[in-house]
Amino acid sequence: MILTMLTESQRATLRALIDRIIPADDFPGGWEAGVGGYLDRQFAGDLCHQLDMYRAGLDAFDIEARATAGVNFAELAPDAQDALLRKVELGDVVTDWPIEPAVFFHAAAEHAAEGFYGDPGNGGNRDGVSWRMIGFEVTG
């Protein structure tokens, strides 16, 4: 369980971030659909060299959220989280990030999609929920 190597607030921020990248609607959000499980497996494998970037990026999200709204990212309302993400996506941040904000956000968005739309064998896409959502059925 690599994710247990993150701090509690890093984990909360990661979950909140994943759930804005793939928000819940009639179908589950990214975290409930297993993106955390996907990341947990990948941080022990192909993405092991990116764990430090995640730690730094998640901390920076909270510092940015506290500087602009007074609370950690996970405690913001979804609309406020989205507004912050739109700024981060453009690199339009007010605090000093140790990594390029947009690079981290794009990496997280890509990894979330891999965990959500990839095959369940990779640890995400719980019970093939995203495939049911879009109409990709495996028949043989």
Partner 1 sequence: MSTYDVIVVGAGAGGGVAAGVLAEAGKAVLLIERGREMAFEDVPRDHLRNHRYSRYGHNTGPSLEGNPRVLVDLDGHEHTLRPHEDAYQNNATGVGGGARVYGAQAWRYLPADFEMASTYGVPAGSSLADWPIGYADVAPYYERAEWEIGVCGDSVGSAERWPRDRDYPMPPVQLNRQGALMRRGAEALGWSTLAVPLLINSTPYGGRPACIHCQHCIGFACPVDAKNDSQNTLLARGRATGRVEVVTEAMVEQVNTVGGRVVGVTYVDRDDKRQSARAEVVVLAAGAIETARLMLNSVSSEHPHGLGNAHDQVGRNLQGHYYPGAVGLMSEPVHDGIGPGVTTAITQFNHGNADLIGGGMIADEFVVLPIIFWARNLPPDLPRWGAEAKGFMRDNYTRVARVMGPVQEIPSPDARVTLDPKVRDRWGIPAARLSGAAHPETVRTAEFMYARAGEWLAASGAQRIWGSPPKVKLSGGQHQAGTARMGDDPASSVTDRWSRVHGHDNLYVADGSVHVTNGGFNPVLTIMALAFRAAEHVSRAW
Residues that bind partner 1 (CB under 8 A): 20-23, 25, 27, 45-46, 82, 85, 106, 109-110, 112-114, 117-119, 121-122, 130-131, 133-140
Nearer to partner 1, 10 or 130 (CB): 130
SS3 76: coil
Q: What length does the chain have?
A: 140
Minimum distance, C-beta of residue 102 to partner 1, in the bound complex (Å): 12
Q: Is there a contact between 82 and 20 (Cβ–Cβ < 8 Å)?
A: yes
Q: Which CB sits closer to partner 1, 7 or 123?
A: 123
Find the shortest distance in angstroms from Cβ 2 to partner 1. Answer: 16
State the nearest-atom distance from the C-beta of 80 to partner 1, in Å: 14
- The residue type found at 77 is A
State how far Cα 7 lies from the chain centre: 15
Count CB atoms within 10 A of the CB of residue 77. Answer: 10
Nearer to partner 1, 6 or 21 (CB): 21
Cα 12 to Cα 10: distance, rounded to the nearest angstrom: 5
